Amino acid sequence: MRRSRFIRGGAVESERGNLLLGADSKSRALKYLSARFAPVAVHSPRLSLSKHARFAPIAIHSRRRSPSKAARFAPIAIHSRRRSRKRARESAAWSGFQVASAQESRERSYDARLQTQTEIRALLASRGLTPKHRFGQNFLVDHNHLRKFVAASSIDANSLVLEVGPGTGTLSECILETGAELLACELDRDLCALLRETLLPKHARRMTLLEGDCLDGKHAISPAILDVIAGRPFSLVANLPYQIASPLMAMLACETPYCLGQFVTIQRDVADRLLAREGCGEYGPLTISIGACADVTLLSVLPPGCFWPPPKVTSAMIAIRPRQTPDIAPDPQLRKAFSAFLLRVFSNRRKQLGSILGRDHGWPAGILAIQRPEELTISQLVSLWESDRSREPANHHE
């Protein structure tokens, strides 16, 4: 009869072949097993507690030993694809390893509350509805990006959030899960009816649903939205319909000082314009008007497959955060005047400044009449606008 013997690293093999692992020898013992019972397949897609945790539970597949013989080498759990997830968890727990971290468990339970693409399809089909292209309805169905979206906004139970275009309510659920108060504005009356049946009854205390356009014309935010916000600080968190993205972002960044930030998905080409620098073809009035008031950050690029139905263009997730010291004071009238000046000079962006404003214009330091608008930085354009404003009374008097 064989006696227990020591193997390298402090592990002990008993007389029946069972492997007893020392506290400081798990790694060496696993290497010993892999050498003795090769080939060894290690399967653990769910474990990441430490660098050794990925080796448990261990599936031992040997041409020389049957599973029944391999099973004697406790406490190594034999993992089989045919086993149910519950059995795999019990086996892993028995061998001293946790199946998933607490964070992973929370993420799985969080995902369970989000609508999947199949569920959105079924929800619309049950009411005889389909996505409407004229409203820019491309629903964000990628759960990873939804979580990233809400996390980037840093909203909590004390936040007021404006969501434009809630659709079937997938992102709305994520927002409400943080405890925030939600003001949702939806233009599609059919989706409004759906939200009143599915989402609003569950969150009636913290959710307000407005049916209608978020804009009042092209240059103003809907009075209904402003009435509900009532001057309170708020954040915009939305998968924006592409048709209204640019004017809404510009008005919130430039004319709404109590907007704490915007976290939105938009077309990639619009995001490129917001992130452009002087000298680029994308650099223009939208870049400068928002850049003079806020910092723009690219959070993620979203391929068409992140949406249903998939759009024909790539999208981007961006954050627009107001600057503590903006180049222009938070005065709606001043910012509107600056926007009008930008449209004036960029309508002939390839012309020299002297041809647009006049050769006798009083040029600020560092700016020449032979330069073009697209060559100036945001701060230079602000200086040029201020010098142009100082000439307006004299020009008007003439």
Dihedral angle at the C-alpha atoms of 172, 177, 181, 182, nearest 10 degrees?
A: 0
Using left for φ > 0, alpha for ψ between -120 and 50, and beta otherwise, residue 265 falls in beta
Percent of the chain with pLDDT over 70: 70
Degrees (nearest 5) of the Cα angle 68, 74, 79?
60
Tell me, yes or no, if the pTM score tops 0.85. no
What's the whole-number mean pLDDT along residues 290-316?
Answer: 96
CA distance 360 to 242: 42
281 near 371, Cβ under 8 Å? no
Please check the confidence at residue 205 and state whether its pLDDT lies above 70.
Answer: yes
- pLDDT of the residue at 30: 55
113 near 137, Cβ under 8 Å? no
Please check the confidence at residue 393 and state whether its pLDDT lies above 90.
Answer: no
Dihedral angle at the C-alpha atoms of 91, 97, 99, 102, nearest 10 degrees?
A: 150
Specify the range with the lowest mean pLDDT, choosing from 74-83, 270-279, 287-296, 315-324. Answer: 74-83
Please check the confidence at residue 92 and state whether its pLDDT lies above 50.
Answer: no
326 near 313, Cβ under 8 Å? no
234 near 160, Cβ under 8 Å? yes
Task: Please provide the average confidence, as pLDDT, over all residues in the chain.
Answer: 79
Domains and CATH numbers, the chain: 5-100 (no CATH), 110-322 (3.40.50.150), 348-397 (no CATH)
- pLDDT of the residue at 103: 40
Specify the range with the lowest mean pLDDT, choosing from 117-121, 385-389, 393-397. Answer: 393-397
Do the bridges between strand 234-239 and strand 259-267 make them parallel or antiparallel, or are there none, so unpaired?
A: parallel
Give residue 390's pLDDT band: very low, low, confident or very high (50, 70, 90).
Answer: confident
Written as six digits, the tokens of 359 are 């050769």
